[in-house]
Amino acid sequence: MRWDHIIRNGEIVTPSATYTANIYIKDGKIAAINEEELNGDAKEITDASGLHILPGLIDTHVHSRDGGATYKEDFYHSTQAAAAGGITTIFEMPNTNPTINTVENFKKQVNNLQSKAHVNFGIWGICLGDLNNKDLLPLTEAGVIGFKYFWGYAVNKNTFQLVYNYSEDMVDVIAPCDDGQVFEMFEEVAKTGRSFGIHAENSDLINHLTKQLEQKDADDYNAFLASRPNLAEELTIQTGIAMAKQTGARLHILHVSTAEGVKLIREAQQEGYPITAETCPHYLFLTNEDYREIGPVMKVYPLVKFKKDQEAIWEGINDGTISFVCSDHAPHTSEEKDGDLWTIPAGMCGVETLAPLMLNAVSEGKITLQQLVALLSENPAKQFDVYPQKGTIQVGSDADITIVNLNKRHVIKTEDLHSKSKITAYDGFEITGMPVQTIVNGTTVMKNGDIIFKPLGELVTPK
Ligand code: DOR
Ligand code: ZN
């Protein structure tokens, strides 16, 4: 047989053009793209008449919690959720157990994830300051997709797990890095040439305000917001940018949630520094006002902020300050999410609803479909040095493809999610435009919402 898979008559979308052609796949790669029919049979044939063909969508920010907290989520479920939502590659966050602080743990994680991967996957490395500065170059060699620093978090001395509510009297806990240690970390990451993603929230400010406010207005989202204000993000982004200017680190601001953040990043970019940023659907489609209706499931760090922030983030998307959108998929169980706003864990599902929500934004005229391709495929692929293997439909590229129906209507329902813990702020949201087929390494893994193939995903490493 000449081809493995032929996709006929679809409209192929790139960030700069839209055209109708057939795609011919062989051995997991795009082997030909042609307006005329080419000779030869195929094992699989897809008729994509009336549908749009996008380069496989990438979600760069996923916490599948495998290992460590697999009672909340695991890689088998999160990658099914990804495939169901039209995502062909995810990048897995490193705050797992074991955490991804050494080459040994990176290799263990590759083995752990491989057999459960319904989509392709990259793995982030973690920065723990003095504890693993020496491991950053070896991790780079081994193939981490980038490095993440949870700024302001303490670390357990024995397990290297992040400590979420640090206080100085805790035993077996290493205090958060001081600015001197962070500066050295920036110098070490700069040497690797990889993207350096930071969780930007100033924990000193947050801890101080939390002590003041926690007792007062226990259940009010706005009081909670006052304890984790815009200033917390602004301070850490500002420090991060200053350190990146000094060290040359390729600073990437994770999940931008404030107008102040967007402004600082834009100014640094205008000065010519290679600072990049991402945001997530919750900052684009929700505001503090939604808490009344949605409640604690929408608690996520950084918190969803105000209307003016949402508007500034959209402006950042439209002028290119923010170069891509990702989910920050971080499920907890519904029991854990049901409780006092101040103490329940932060995070919700996202990998399955990322592309539907962005397609709906296309249907509402907020962005174009070509922009969506840039935001969910080409830009993240370029950012993490996996382009043109990923992020484009070209001869020679991996045959990762997302087929979408721009007219398909869909209602997001919590119970339909593929994740182990089904937690979403978007229950009841009406969407126009849905991924209808997810093709990974040339094989269809999702069709019309159903997972139809076994795990076949492969590790993705930067070039
Ligand atoms: O809300 C969040 N949840 N934000 C994070 O940065 C981490 C995540 C988690 O792992 O639960
Ligand atoms: Zn995250």
What's the rounded Cα separation, in Å, for the pair 143 and 81? 25
Q: What confidence category does residue 218 fall into, taking pLDDT thresholds of 50, 70 and 90?
A: low
- Please tell me the CATH code under which domain 57-386+418-430 is placed: 3.20.20.140
Q: How far is the CA of 180 from the centre of ligand 1 (A)?
A: 25
Mean pLDDT rounded to a whole number for the chain: 96
Q: If you measure from the C-alpha of residue 235 to the centroid of ligand 2, how many angstroms do you get, rounded to a whole number?
A: 19
Please tell me the predicted confidence (pLDDT) of residue 160.
87
pLDDT (tens digit per residue) in 165-210: 788 899 999 999 999 999 999 999 999 999 999 999 999 999 999 9
How confident is the model at residue 158, as a pLDDT?
A: 86
300: Cβ below 6 Å to ligand 1?
yes
Per-residue pLDDT of 437-452, as tens digits, reads: 999 999 999 999 999 9
Instruction: State the number of CA atoms in the 13 A half-sphere of 380 facing the CB.
Output: 30
301 lines ligand 1 (CB under 6 A): yes
Shortest-distance Cα residue to atom 4 of ligand 1: 301
Q: Which atom of ligand 1 is nearest to the CA of 254?
A: 6
Neighbour count for residue 71 (Cβ, 10 Å): 12
- State both tokens at 215: 């007792």
**Which residue matches tokens 């000779």?**
39
How far is ligand 1, taken at its centre, from the CA of residue 47, in Å?
Answer: 40
Q: What is the pLDDT averaged over residues 354-377? A: 98
Give Cα 422 to chain centroid, integer Å. Answer: 18
CA count, 13 A, side-chain hemisphere, 30? 24
Distance 84 CA to ligand 2 centre (A): 21
* Residue 25 reports pLDDT greater than 70: yes
Q: Give the per-residue pLDDT at 165.
A: 78
**Strand pairing partners for 351?**
none
Q: Is 427 helix (H, G, I), strand (E, B) or coil?
A: coil
Whole-angstrom Cα distance, residue 434 to residue 448?
A: 9
- Strands 18-26 and 3-13, sheet pairing: antiparallel
Mean of pLDDT values over 27-56: 97
- Please indicate whether residue 347, judged by its CB atom, sits closer than 6 Å to ligand 1: yes
Q: Is the pLDDT of residue 229 over 70?
A: yes
pTM: 0.98
299-345 tens-digit pLDDT: 999 999 999 999 999 999 999 999 999 999 999 999 999 998 999 99
Q: What gap in Å lies between CA 418 and CA 253, rounded to an integer?
A: 29
pLDDT at residue 219 is higher than 70: no
> 398: which strand partners?
29
